[in-house]
Amino acid sequence: METTYEALKGKWKDYLQSNGLNTTQQREVIVEQFLRSEEHISTDDLLERSRQLNPKIGYATVYRTLKLLVEAGLAHQRDFGEGQSRFEVVSEHHDHLICTKCGLVLEFEDEAIEALQDEVAKRLGGFKIVQHRLELYGLCPREQGVPGGSCPNQPS
């Protein structure tokens, strides 16, 4: 992960420089916490983590920094129907499976689904897919009431 982190950090510095933006200690704390996150993080969660390192960081600074990270191509903004956006570090393509009750978000890759999407796009008008987002919404086993069903988002 360190190699990826260093590459992303370099891209961030290039973005700041090419856009004539200054770096601040608060902004750098936020960027570091974001780039090191491995999950889909909300603005509130990132604020909480960043304040552990610098209690003076405000919500507006986190919000503006996330906006810059999206513009820099380092973050994707996602809306999983919870009433708040979540952000993830740009990485290899993957799709999402989301529990509509507990909010669990699982990432997955499936070559058969990718091939099927290409086939359908071609058949329905000769499209060539250059980008897509697949989000599947449902209920995890625990929220379905499956006996012994578990959910990583909730204690047993």
Instruction: Answer with the residue of higher pLDDT: 3 or 41.
Output: 41
In a domain, 152, yes or no: no
| Shared-domain flag, residues 28 and 53 | yes
6-22 residue pLDDT tens:
888 999 999 999 999 98
CATH of the domain at 134: 3.30.1490.190
Instruction: Answer with the residue of higher pLDDT: 103 or 26.
Output: 26
* Helices 25-35 & 59-71 angle (0-180, nearest 10): 60
25-59 residue pLDDT tens:
999 999 999 999 888 889 999 999 999 999 999 99
C-alpha–C-alpha distance, residues 73 and 89, integer Å: 9
50-92 residue pLDDT tens:
999 999 999 999 999 999 999 998 998 888 777 778 898 887 7
Please report, to the nearest 10 degrees, the dihedral formed by the alpha carbons of residues 45, 49, 52, 58 taken in order. Answer: -60
| Shared-domain flag, residues 104 and 31 | no
How many separate domains does the chain show? 2
CATH of the domain at 60: 1.10.10.10
